[in-house]
Amino acid sequence: MNPSIPHSDSGEPLYDTEAIQALDAAHYLHPFTDFKALAEVGSRIIVRGEGVYVWDSRGQKILDGMSGLWNVNLGYRRVELADAAYRQMLQLPFYNSFFQTSNIPAAKLAATIASVAPDHMRRVFYCNSGSEANDTIVRMARRYWDLKDQPQRKIIISRHNAYHGSTMAGASLSGMSGMHAQGGLPIPGIVHIGQPYHFEDGAGLTSEAFGLKAAGWLEEKILEVGPENVAAFIGEPVQGAGGVIIPPVTYWPEIQRICDAYGILLISDEVICGFGRLGSWFGCQHFGTRPDFIAFAKGVTSGYFPLGGVIIGDRVADVLIESGGEFNHGFTYSGHPVGCALALENIRILREEGIVERVRLETAPYLARRFHELADHPLVAITEVLGMVAGLVLAPGHRERFDPALEVGMICRRHCFENGVIMRAVGDRMIIAPPLVITPAQIDEMLALIRRCLDLTHAELKVRGQI
Ligand code: PXG
């Protein structure tokens, strides 16, 4: 009997893994998944979580190095968050914000978010997800230019290998060719430039020089399509799903300069970076940019409830408000009272426990020190860390690369899962984004597990004759 999973009185495990896997395979089509391949192997069923750990239905304890999907920032089983949702459900489980009505948590949360956002950003529009936040921004940015009598300003410039969501606009903004190949994307008016990935594209240049070069691609694109046609530029402060691409320090200030020079709106997609992930409330505060829009989701509720939204800078909000006329856009659950009550509690805990500062001053520097030690591993080409995100490149030598067909990332990810730590593989990049509450001792535990999995990956590749 495995003591870590609940058993019935007669000693049977409470979870019938095979039966749940059969239901899952027969009826549940998973996101970003090869349906047929998954049905053949069966899903791993996660049944519970506490702190930085989750447990599967067979009782294996796993250190969640990805905070769920970059979102469970306060870790699992924070009773205060569950209580806040429960209390709000009893008080008022739902009311809409459409017809000149509001609710207390939605109003308070908007004010609270404004208090941690950059000073020039004081208005919030609510959605349910990061994708919806970005769709909302596309419509809001274009409406702004309509109201400014520049309706031809429709083009939004994004970047290859960005991730901005899976809705029609979100997937179009995303720079992933596999997504664009399905569903006739991108939608009109969205174009892409290169990403600031020094390791891949910056050979022969210092990081600083490459940052300026990569930002310069924005100016080239603006001039190519005509500055008078460009509405906005969108970027994640640090690209998440693309593989934790941390830009050179020169990159964002130069992007800001270019946006200012051509009067172009700047969109900071903070669905991952927002609410403390980089050791600041928002990534734009770390990099010193002045966005017109911030997209947020995920960490605003630590993932306990689906909630997203847009924070709007004054120069746009003032025009939208002063012009009068309806903004014809919104969702049934915009400003959901339960999500907003939970988010308020989440932010209260982040503030009162000083978690953002602790990340910046203590745990992120410790993570950086320990993670960079992996650079001596024979399978690791580079290690990069900022705040509570980190990535390494698997490579057979310092600047050599593996053949993508070998799928070394997937081999490493399998070893991680089997050995009790969750890491994401993006091509040959292995990435982590642990809960913001992870302690130094847990960072040690995580790094020991990661090193072991790198060793196992190395050994497997050797046996296969691939290194
Ligand atoms: N913007 C960014 C920067 C994101 O990371 C979205 C928008 C879309 O949010 P929603 O809530 O609509 O999913 C995201 C989502 C991955 C992975 O594999 C990352 C995301 C979603 C799913 C998978 O790393 N990020």
- Where are the chain's structural domains? 44-77+355-463, 80-352
Q: What is the pLDDT of residue 319?
A: 98
Encode pLDDT of 206-237 as tens digits: 999 999 999 999 999 999 999 999 999 999 99
Tell me how far the alpha carbon of residue 334 is from its chain's centroid. 21
Q: What is the pLDDT of residue 201?
A: 96
The amino acid that residue 160 corresponds to is H
Query: Does ligand 1 have an atom closer than 6 angstroms to the CB of 174?
Result: no
Other C-beta atoms lying within 10 Å of the C-beta of residue 418: 12
Q: What is the pLDDT of residue 397?
A: 76
**What is the spatial distance between Cα 186 and Cα 172, in angstroms, rounded to a whole number?**
4
In angstroms, what is the span from residue 276 Cα to ligand 1's centroid?
Answer: 16
| Dihedral sign from CA coordinates of 96, 97, 100, 103 | positive
Encode pLDDT of 64-91 as tens digits: 999 999 999 999 999 999 999 999 999 9
Minimum mean pLDDT range among 90-99, 239-248, 390-399? 390-399
What residues pair up with 421 in beta bridges, in sequence order?
A: 63
Q: Calculate mean pLDDT across residues 131-155.
A: 98
Q: What is the pLDDT of residue 14?
A: 80
Query: Does ligand 1 have an atom closer than 6 angstroms to the CB of 299?
Result: no
Query: Does ligand 1 have an atom closer than 6 angstroms to the CB of 130?
Result: yes
Encode pLDDT of 262-283 as tens digits: 999 999 999 999 999 999 999 9
Query: Does ligand 1 have an atom closer than 6 angstroms to the CB of 238?
Result: no
Minimum mean pLDDT range among 9-18, 145-154, 158-167, 397-406? 9-18
Query: Does ligand 1 have an atom closer than 6 angstroms to the CB of 236?
Result: yes
Computed over every residue of the chain, the mean pLDDT equals 96
Instruction: Give, as one character, the DSSP assignment of residue 333.
Output: T
Residue 180, pLDDT above cutoff 60: yes
Instruction: Give, as one character, the DSSP assignment of residue 265.
Output: E
Give 400's pLDDT tier (boundaries 50, 70, 90).
confident
Encode pLDDT of 310-366 as tens digits: 999 999 999 999 998 999 999 999 999 999 999 999 999 999 999 999 999 999 999
Under the phi-then-psi rule, with left for phi > 0, alpha for psi from -120 to 50, and beta for the rest, what region is 72?
beta
Q: Which atom of ligand 1 is nearest to the CA of 239?
A: 3
Residue 7, pLDDT above cutoff 80: no
**What is the spatial distance between Cα 311 and Cα 126, in angstroms, rounded to a whole number?**
9
- Pairing mode, strands 293-296 and 265-269: parallel
Query: pLDDT over 70 for what percent of the chain?
Result: 97
Based on C-alpha coordinates, what's the Rg of the chain?
23
DSSP 97-165: SSSS---HHHHHHHHHHHHHS-TTEEEEEEESSHHHHHHHHHHHHHHHHHHTT-TT--EEEEETT----
Residue located nearest, by CA, to atom 20 of ligand 1: 241
Query: Does ligand 1 have an atom closer than 6 angstroms to the CB of 240?
Result: yes
Quick one: which H or E segment has residue 174?
none
- Judge: domain 44-77+355-463, CATH 3.90.1150.10: yes
CB of 342 closer than 8 Å to CB of 88: yes
What residues pair up with 295 in beta bridges, in sequence order?
A: 269, 310
The CATH class for the domain spanning 80-352 reads: alpha beta
**What is the spatial distance between Cα 415 and Cα 458, in angstroms, rounded to a whole number?**
11
Q: Which atom of ligand 1 is nearest to the CA of 269?
A: 3
Q: What angle do CA 383, 388, 394 make, to 5 degrees?
A: 25
Q: What is the pLDDT of residue 4?
A: 60
Q: Calculate mean pLDDT across residues 369-383.
A: 97
Q: What is the pLDDT of residue 1?
A: 53
